[in-house]
Amino acid sequence: MTKVLCCISGKGGVGKSTSAINLGLALHQFGKNTAVLDGNLTTPNIGIYLGVPSVPSTIHHVLNDNRRNLRNAVYHHYSGLKVIPGDLGVNKLSSLKIEKLKTVLADVEGLFDYIVIDGAAGLGKEAISALDASDKALIVTNAEMAAVTDALKTIQVARKMRKQILGVLLTRFKNDGMDMRVKDIENLLEYPVLGIIPEDKNVRRSNIKGKPLLMNYPDSEASLAYKELAAKILGIKLDDYMTPPTKKKDNMIQDLLRVFSFKT
């Protein structure tokens, strides 16, 4: 049975698309057949970040045409990840049947182990549709009060929809004394922080190049943090899958999680 996980946030610019891609790729690297679907229908970014901005069939085509099957919009990325991108044009937006997302996912039921949806920012129809189509939600936010407040609203909506919330992913964590403390975020949101993605210039470099971070810079701190997140979701030990040189760097991520999760 395919598990559908939605990366969702109440605020834009928190690294949600980057997280969906690299979490999906990390799941693939752990042996899971994984697809990433662009659920940010008005401003899709997945194709751009993966270097495939234009393709013949997209999620937009499927949502607009009852005769189209979602399987025809699945592309095999050279990283091994499967991609269901969005259309960059605006012509299809006016007639887009956003509410059909959950229905069309039935076309690929059983085809993948995991589908990671990059949900739209905010709490509009697109975000609600992505949540509705998902089994579980991962709340993506920065450690800033405005972003965390929006994350709280997203959690409240997900609860009302009876969606299982895996936890919180903190991105672009700077550890400069100005970010909110992890324990304070957990207390406010009432969910554990599953992962901390440190501020890493390699993330932006990868997005500009149109290549996933985990392929471009597999041993960067951010890459290791995404692998740790995927391991937690799968319920496995990351160390069992790491080579000795990588394990040393991963211990730094583990230390970061321990320090900031229990700081008082």
pLDDT at 249: 55
Q: Is 54 exposed, middle or buried (0-12, 13-18, 19+ CB in 10 A)?
A: exposed
Q: In angstroms, how far is CA 244 from the centroid of its own chain?
A: 28
* Domains located in the chain, CATH noted: 3-261 (3.40.50.300)
| Phi and psi at residue 121, to the nearest 5° | -70, 155
The pLDDT tens digits of the residues spanning 161-179 come to: 999 999 999 999 987 888 8
Rounded CA gap, 102 and 104, in Å? 6
Does pLDDT of 152 surpass 70?
Answer: yes
Task: Calculate the dihedral angle through the C-alpha atoms of 137, 140, 146, 151, rounding to the nearest 10 degrees.
Answer: 10
Decide which of 73 and 248 is more confident: 73
Contact between 155 and 192 under an 8 Å Cβ cutoff? The reply is no
Q: Is the dihedral of CA 84, 112, 131, 155 positive or negative?
A: negative
| Phi and psi at residue 202, to the nearest 5° | -70, -25
Does pLDDT of 190 surpass 50?
Answer: yes
pLDDT at 66: 79
The pLDDT tens digits of the residues spanning 8-34 come to: 998 888 999 999 999 999 999 999 999
The pLDDT tens digits of the residues spanning 75-105 come to: 999 999 999 999 887 666 666 788 899 999 9
Decide: pTM greater than 0.85.
yes
